[in-house]
Structure 1
Amino acid sequence: MADGLLSAPLNEGLMMWFQKQVQLRPYHRGFHLVTTEITEKLPELKNYKTGLCHIFLPHTSASLTLNENADPNVRHDMEAFSNHYIPENEEYFLHVIEGSDDMPAHIKSSLFGADVMIPIADGWLVLAIWQGIWLGEHRDCGGSRHLIITLQGEGYT
């Protein structure tokens, strides 16, 4: 990313807002790199010269975060770490009506978060070379998840 990109004036061009809901395919429990799946469902991104992309996951047993996009061992290790520190079947969990993974999934969702905000430049998400968007699926049978994506910024004139 060029140094001058961050200092570009924001009062030129057309300021635009756009919002859509996209459906992700179902994933098994764990952390999954979903950057490509999201951007393929977001052709509207190309209309933005500069701006912000907010991605919100309206689920209480899954999460979104930004992290390593190259080595899948990082996602495996994150799942192992979170299961170690937030184990299932603890006697102090009262919320177990949907199974032993239910309350741990809610805790993981709160800890990792339900949204990410990413800058847009020249029609692309501005992510570091080793950075990607992760879906944390914290249920054994979480099913398909959906996202609400909001784009705001300067469009091409």
Structure 2
Amino acid sequence: MRQALRQLDIQTRGKGLTEITRDVAAFVSGEAISTGLLTLFCQHTSASLLIQENADADVQKDLAAFFERIAPEDAALYAHNAEGLDDMPAHIRAALTQVQLSIPVASGAMTLGAWQGIYIFEHRRAPHRRAVILHLLGE
């Protein structure tokens, strides 16, 4: 059994999804592990990870609009506002999504479906540098 660990530093553009599938796939293929499990972990409380459709950009627009409705930026709704109006809604959005993903690896590649991509979901308005830890375990 082998394992590999790497940190991806991803620059987001502000709120929305940033696809990282290619970076993650390059890591997996470079490790020459044929069969295993890849774990991704986002080290932040105001961003998250998603596996989502990467074929139609309307999916991303609809997701962003949905999260704006369920966790709006409204100072009257939250006690925590020390870091700005977008901070507490960002924490709520991260709590409703996930900061960790597990993806099986077979024949040296991730077993994502035909229309699936891996994304960092930035929940803050400003661009941020986000760290995602990749851990691959297998043989």
What's the TM-score bracket when you normalise by the shorter of the two chains?
A: over 0.9
Report the alpha carbon displacement of residue 25 of structure 1 after superposing the two structures with TM.
2.4
TM-score, with length taken from structure 1 = 0.83
1:95–1:103 contact (8 Å) kept in structure 2: yes
Equivalent residue of 1:20, what SS?
strand
Alignment of 1:1-157 (within 5 A): 15-40=1-26, 42=27, 45-154=30-139
Instruction: Report the CA distance between 1:21 and its aligned residue.
Output: 1.1
1:21-67 per-residue CA deviation (whole Å, 9 max, x = no partner) reads 11112322112222113333x15554111000000001000010111
Paired residue type of 2:135: T
Aligned partner of residue 136 in structure 2, secondary structure: strand
The separation in 1 between residues aligned to 2:18 and 2:61, in whole angstroms, is 9
| Structure 1, unpaired ranges of 5+ | 1-14
Structure 2 unmatched ranges of 5 or more: none
Q: Specify which structure has the bigger relative contact order, considering alpha-carbon pairs within 8 angstroms and separated by 6 or more residues.
A: 2
* RMSD (Å) for aligned C-alpha atoms: 1.4
Answer whether contact 1:51 1:151 (CA < 8 A) is retained.
Answer: yes
Q: Show structure 1 runs of 4+ deviating over 6 A.
A: none
Contact 1:31 1:76 in 2 (8 A): no
Q: Aligned partners of 2:29 and 2:106: how far apart in 1?
A: 13
Decide whether the 8 Å contact of 1:45 with 1:124 is kept in 2.
no
Deviation sequence 1:72-97 (CA, Å, 0-9, x none): 11011100001011111141301011
The one-letter amino acid of 1:27's match is: R
Alpha-carbon distance, 1:136 to partner: 0.6
